[in-house]
Amino acid sequence: MLEKLGLIALAGAAGTLARYWLSGLVYDILGRDFPWGTAAANILGCFLFGLVWEAGADRMLLRTEARTVLLTGFMGAFTTFSTFIFESGGLLEDHRYLALFANLGFQTLLGFAALFAGLALGRLV
């Protein structure tokens, strides 16, 4: 168990550094007038999440433990947006449209509300 946690932590560190590097590179190329760096990390993260999931699911190219380390560690630090989209995609595939739109709306709207609540509280502190 400790070995697995260590691997997840190392993969998380790698994901953090990869996000930092990718975002910086994209901002250097495209500028900062739009959150291009974050968008690049989120979109690439969604692609990589799908790739890793499928490589481990049906094809068994990745062992369950490796998939857990990559998805929880690396992808968890690289972007949580990929998990959000993956779970929303599962709702879509299951034809749970009400749950899909509730999830999209709930997390997006409450995320904005939480951001501004945190900003307001931070200004008071």
Q: Which residues are annotated as a binding site?
A: 76, 79
pLDDT class of 17 with cuts at 50, 70, 90 = very high
- The two structure tokens encoding residue 94: 């299951």
At 59, give phi and psi (nearest 5°): -80, -20
- Quote the mean pLDDT of the chain: 89
DSSP string, 15-64: HHHHHHHHHHHHHHHH-SSS-HHHHHHHHHHHHHHHHHHHHHHTS--S-H
pLDDT, average across residues 7-22: 96
67-76 pLDDT, tens digit per residue, is: 889 999 999 8
Residue 79 DSSP class = -
Element spanning 104, H or E = helix 97-124
Residue 59 has pLDDT above 70, yes or no: no
Q: Which residues are annotated as a binding site for Na(+)?
A: 76, 79
Residue 10 has pLDDT above 90, yes or no: yes
Q: What is the pLDDT of residue 58?
A: 67
pLDDT class of 49 with cuts at 50, 70, 90 = confident
Name, in order, each residue with C-beta under 8 angstroms of 82's C-beta and a sequence gap of 6 or more: 42, 45, 46, 48, 49, 75
CA nearest to 24, candidates 45, 10, 38: 38
